Amino acid sequence: MSETRRPGDWPRATDAEFGPPLAGDYRAAPEDFVVEEVLGFAPEGHGEHLWLWIEKRGLTTLDAVRHVARECQVSPRAVGYSGMKDRIAVTRQWLSVQLPGQPAPDDLIERLAACGVRVLEQARHPRKLKRGVHRANRFTLRITGAAVNAQLEARWAWLCRHGVPNLFGPQRFGPEGRNLARARAVLDRGWRKRDDKEGMLLSAARSYLFNELLAMRLADGSWQRLLTGDVAILDGSASQFVVEALDAELAERAERLDLHPSGVLWGVGNSMAGGEAVRFEQTLSERHAALCQGLERAGVRMARRALRMRLDQPQLEVAADVARLGFHLPRGGFATAVLRELLDHPTLTSFAQRTTPGHEPG
């Protein structure tokens, strides 16, 4: 069977309990969408890499990287970052720049501020900041509209109790979902491994397949419980194991969000899944044979991703028709996956012209 589902048409977890949410708006201004990187460790205070804790708005992370590289007169490759942060938002994150045996330019802070990059803190560290080393992201969001009602609070409480489907957000798939069509074209002709842009398209294909698998488990309600043969992932950790047999202890740990079932990020390798869980992967490979086979030919390595994520340190304040949300998500989690459970908006459920702006939730 060929791929037929349009990116963004995946089900919600809360609809079975509450029905579809009402319309609402978010990110009317950058200040409505604040993202702060939670690194999990501190720079050591010495070394050849200058680490900068920055705040940006209206810029992508790569824009900020280019500004830092230019002002420090180094190659952009000498500038490190852990995650990609949204453009239409207020975001704070660490960048590092390699300056061996030399101080930072005297007017670096002022020159970066003129580019829209505020330096809030700086410190030295022996090593470059690598991709994906931060622990989490803290989100502070403001939403408005009819969705801000008593049911919003009930939906929020439900998500805090049961977790959030760990869907890849619409920004992964590009305007109107066009990255998926581009990924298919790349896989049809063969992937050039040194092409970073094409690598991002392959990530879009894997993300689409993961969302398709998660949609199947949302449909039958198994996205938040363990099945025999599931590869369980420990909350807040990369630790995983195969559920050979279910027992009361494992079921209870899943219920309290200590363990999560996982889904495959398609590629070459052994998925480890078996039993009841493997049938979802078999169905996925049958429905989307061209994408699965193309990723295997490209040599992309198989991996796992939790089907569910916990809302850590959740906060909700409601006043009149405005709600303010605060929560931590693990690295790689999309705030749009949370928002789509709370309100109806074109950029959250389909790929209209005004696509969710920004980059990954790195």
CA-based radius of gyration for the chain? 21
231: tokens are 């590869």
Alpha helices for 127-240 (secondary structure H): 150-162, 178-189, 196-220
Do the Cβ atoms of 257 and 226 come closer than 8 Å? no
Phi then psi dihedrals of residue 233, to 5 deg: -115, 130
75: tokens are 């190659």
- In angstroms, the first-to-last Cα distance of the chain is 33
Phi then psi dihedrals of residue 309, to 5 deg: -130, 145
Distance CA 140, CA 355 (A): 20
Task: Please identify which of the residues 86, 106, 195, 235 carries the catalytic annotation.
Answer: 86
Do the Cβ atoms of 290 and 261 come closer than 8 Å? no
333: tokens are 């989690």
86 is a catalytic site residue: yes
DSSP state of 300: P
Q: For residue 80, count CB atoms less than 10 angstroms from its CB and return exposed for 0-12, middle for 13-18, buried for 19 or more.
A: buried
Task: Tell me if residue 51 falls in helix, strand or coil.
Answer: strand
Question: Between vectors from CA 92 to CA 337 and to CA 172, what angle results, nearest 5°?
Answer: 35
Distance CA 240, CA 76 (A): 36
Catalytic residues: 86
